[in-house]
Chain A
Amino acid sequence: DAKTTQPTSMDCAEGRAANLPCNHSTISGNEYVYWYRQIHSQGPQYIIHGLKNNETNEMASLIITEDRKSSTLILPHATLRDTAVYYCIAYQAGTALIFGKGTTLSVSS
Chain B
Amino acid sequence: NAGVTQTPKFQVLKTGQSMTLQCAQDMNHEYMSWYRQDPGMGLRLIHYSVGAGITDQGEVPNGYNVSRSTTEDFPLRLLSAAPSQTSVYFCASSVRGGGSYNEQFFGPGTRLTVL
Q: How far is the CA of A109 from the CA of B13 in the complex (A)?
A: 42
| Pairwise interchain contact B100-A45, C-beta atoms closer than 8 A | no
Q: How many Å lie between the Cα of A46 and that of B90 in the bound state?
A: 14
In the bound complex, residues from chain A placing their C-beta under 8 Å from that of B104 are 36, 44, 46, 97
Chain A residues within an 8 Å CB radius of B45: 96-99
B33 and A96 within 8 A (CB): yes
The one of B59, B97, B103, B108 that contacts A98, using a Cβ cutoff of 8 Å: B59
Chain A CB within 8 A of B41 CB: yes
Where chain B touches its partner, the secondary structure class is: loop
Given contacts A96-B58, A96-B97, A102-B42, contact A43 B106 (CB under 8 A): yes
B88 within 8 A of A: yes
Number of interface residues of B (CB under 8 A): 27
A101 to B38, CA, bound (A): 11
Q: Is the CB of A45 within 8 A of B102?
A: no
- Chain B nearest CB from A89 CB (Å) reads 9
Contact B42 A99 (CB under 8 A): yes
Which residues from 46 to 101 on chain B have a C-beta closer than 8 Å to any C-beta of chain A? Answer: 48, 58-59, 88, 90, 92, 97-101
A2 to B102, CA, bound (A): 17
Q: Which of B6-53 contact A (CB under 8 A)?
A: 33, 35, 41-45, 48
Closest chain A CB from B59 CB (angstroms): 7
User: B103 to A32, Cβ gap below 8 A?
Assistant: no
Report the nearest B residue to A36, measured CB to CB: B104
Chain B residues positioned under 8 Å from A2 (CB to CB)? 42
9 A/B residue pairs, CB under 8 Å, sorted by A: A42-B108, A42-B109, A43-B90, A43-B92, A43-B106, A49-B101, A87-B42, A93-B99, A95-B97
Nearest 9 A/B pairs, CB to CB: A43-B106, A99-B43, A99-B42, A46-B103, A101-B42, A93-B100, A94-B98, A43-B90, A96-B48
